[in-house]
Amino acid sequence: MMKKYTCIIIDDDEIDRLTVLSFAKKFPILDILGVFDSAEEALPFIEKQKVDILFLDIDMPELNGIEFRKQAMEIPVCIFITAHPEHAVESFQIETLDFIVKPLKLERFAQTVNRIEEFMEIRLKASLFEASIGGDTIYIKEGHDQTKVKLHEILYLEALKDYTLIITDKKRHCVLSSIGNLLKEDHFQSFIRIHRSYAVQKQFIQKMNSTEIILNNNITIPVGRSYKENLNLI
């Protein structure tokens, strides 16, 4: 049976609102509970209904999308769909899963839905990583099992809101810990943060420049502007 996720759409522009609604109806996993032309109208609704996903405009009169999100942090997924890309940095400080710049296209919306599915699956399965044994091993709880992961086999870490993906050649694991907290652990001191969403192990770097790093197997990782100085540590 397909898992469905409840969502609401908030946008003061009628055409944009109807476009999001039309695209959302194409994906059976999205259960549309409500469509609103203002954030104020949606506030009492989310107090009574369990909502999994927000599709949210930013530039709206009275209560804008950023302020609405701050009042609705219990909703696990927030997708901003806006004509104002300058809000991107601010939006990711309030747990935004994706940020789409208008005009909205179906292909881009489909990418977002895939990201939502992946995040929800990870959120369901993730748990805190267990203590290490020795200096180079961590144990990750996956269901009722524990998987042993050698630290020297981890290619890179990828942030996904409150979770971190641990990527090896063989598998992707997930732990319920932010990438920032993970990098504070003694076990992860060999990793270099090169982007708000990525940290890599030095020994796997094949090539690098000011905008990207290429790891083993031609894996390309972007370099964030505010992390360029960290390249000097490599």
State whether residue 233 is helix, strand or coil: helix
In angstroms, rounded to a whole number, what is the distance separating the alpha carbons of residues 69 and 86?
A: 17
The pLDDT, as a whole number, for residue 228 is: 85
Q: What is the pLDDT of residues 131-176, one digit of tens each?
A: 444 567 888 876 667 788 888 889 999 998 788 999 998 888 888 8
Residue 198's pLDDT band (cuts 50, 70, 90): very high
The pLDDT, as a whole number, for residue 102 is: 94
Q: What percent of the chain has pLDDT over 70?
A: 93
Q: What is the pLDDT of residues 29-58, one digit of tens each?
A: 999 999 999 999 999 999 899 999 999 999
Q: Report yes or no: 5 and 53 within 8 Å, Cβ to Cβ.
A: yes
Q: Which CATH architecture has domain 5-124?
A: 3-Layer(aba) Sandwich (3.40)
The pLDDT, as a whole number, for residue 131 is: 47
Q: Which CATH architecture has domain 129-233?
A: Beta Barrel (2.40)
The pLDDT, as a whole number, for residue 129 is: 57
Q: State the helix-helix crossing angle for 106-125 and 14-24, rounded to 10 degrees.
A: 60
Domain spans of the chain, in order of start = 5-124, 129-233
Residue closest to 94 by CA, chosen among 108, 112, 77, 107: 77
Compute the mean pLDDT over every residue in the chain, rounded to the nearest whole number. Answer: 88
Mean pLDDT of 168-191: 86
Q: What percent of the chain has pLDDT over 90?
A: 55
State whether residue 109 is helix, strand or coil: helix
Q: Report yes or no: 11 and 17 within 8 Å, Cβ to Cβ.
A: yes
What are the two backbone dihedrals, phi and then psi, of residue 180, each rounded to the nearest 5 degrees? Answer: -65, -45
Residue closest to 10 by CA, chosen among 47, 65, 48: 65
The pLDDT, as a whole number, for residue 146 is: 77
In angstroms, rounded to a whole number, what is the distance separating the alpha carbons of residues 182 and 187?
A: 9
Q: Report yes or no: 200 and 221 within 8 Å, Cβ to Cβ.
A: yes
Q: Is the dihedral of CA 89, 94, 95, 100 positive or negative?
A: negative
Residue 127's pLDDT band (cuts 50, 70, 90): low
Residue 11's pLDDT band (cuts 50, 70, 90): very high
